């Protein structure tokens, strides 16, 4: 027996993907026009700023859902730009702890108004507050749903 999604579920999936891509394109275009780093940079900086003690790379990877090699390259670029600092991990001498620098905090604060305006353009102007809350609740259910590691039979 195969579990095939209904037409409504397939339509919801396709629209979710298209809406996600369109919203990200809006955000990335706004950031580029403003001469600011990509959205991934903001997300990394925000996670590091929230973590007072910094994060080990695997902790950041888990929070960000990045592939390890992508995150390593991103951190290299961000460190070269002076936004992220690396320090030896106290738990493991071979490991490292990442933290946000003063410059990283400053650029994150510069990015936010552009990002916020893009969120409003991509989502906020199309939905009432009630509709946005309903969408957030529905997406939260999808996000929080238990996942099985095995593909369906």
**Is residue 16 domain-resident?**
no
pLDDT at 151 over 60: no
pLDDT tens profile 62-74? 888 666 778 889 9
The answer to whether residue 112 sits within a structural domain is yes
Q: Is residue 80 part of a domain?
A: yes
Question: Which pLDDT does position 2 carry in this prediction?
Answer: 66
The answer to the question of residue 68 being in a domain is yes
Q: Are 55 and 47 within 8 A, CB to CB?
A: yes
Q: Compute the mean pLDDT over every residue in the chain, rounded to the nearest whole number.
A: 90
Long-range contacts for 94-101 (Cβ within 8 Å, ≥24 apart)?
A: 95/56, 95/57, 96/56, 96/57, 97/53, 97/54, 97/55, 97/56, 98/48, 98/54, 98/55, 98/56, 98/57, 98/60, 99/48, 99/51, 99/53, 99/54, 99/55, 100/45, 100/48, 100/49, 100/54
Residue 14 domain-assigned (yes or no): no
Could you tell me the pLDDT band of residue 111, with boundaries at 50, 70 and 90? Answer: very high
69 occurs within a structural domain: yes
Q: Which residues pair with 88 in a beta bridge?
A: 96
Distance CA 99, CA 74 (A): 14
pLDDT tens readout for residues 135-150: 999 999 998 888 776 4
Is residue 88 situated within a structural domain? yes
Note the pLDDT of residue 35: 97
CATH code (residue 127):
1.10.10.10
Find, among 25, 15, 17, 14, the residue nearest to 121 by Cα.
25
Q: How many domains does the chain have?
A: 1
Segment 44-55 shows an average pLDDT of 93
Residue 10 pLDDT > 70: yes
Write out the residue range of the structural domain in which residue 58 sits.
Answer: 37-141
In a domain, 107, yes or no: yes
């Amino acid at each position: 027996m195969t579990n095939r999604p209904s037409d409504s579920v397939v339509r919801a999936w396709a629209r979710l993907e298209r809406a996600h891509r369109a919203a990200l394109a809006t955000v990335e275009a706004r950031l580029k026009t403003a001469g600011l780093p990509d959205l991934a940079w903001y997300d990394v900086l925000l996670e590091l700023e929230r973590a007072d003690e910094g994060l080990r790379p695997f902790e950041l990877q888990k929070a960000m859902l990045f592939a390890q090699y992508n995150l390593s390259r991103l951190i290299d670029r961000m460190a070269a730009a002076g936004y992220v600092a690396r320090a030896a991990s106290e738990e493991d001498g071979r490991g490292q702890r990442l933290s946000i620098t003063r410059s990283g905090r400053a650029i994150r604060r510069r990015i936010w108004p552009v990002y916020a305006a893009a969120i409003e353009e991509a989502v906020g102007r199309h939905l009432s507050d009630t509709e946005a809350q309903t969408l957030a609740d529905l997406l939260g259910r999808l996000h929080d749903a238990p996942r099985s590691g095995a593909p369906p039979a």
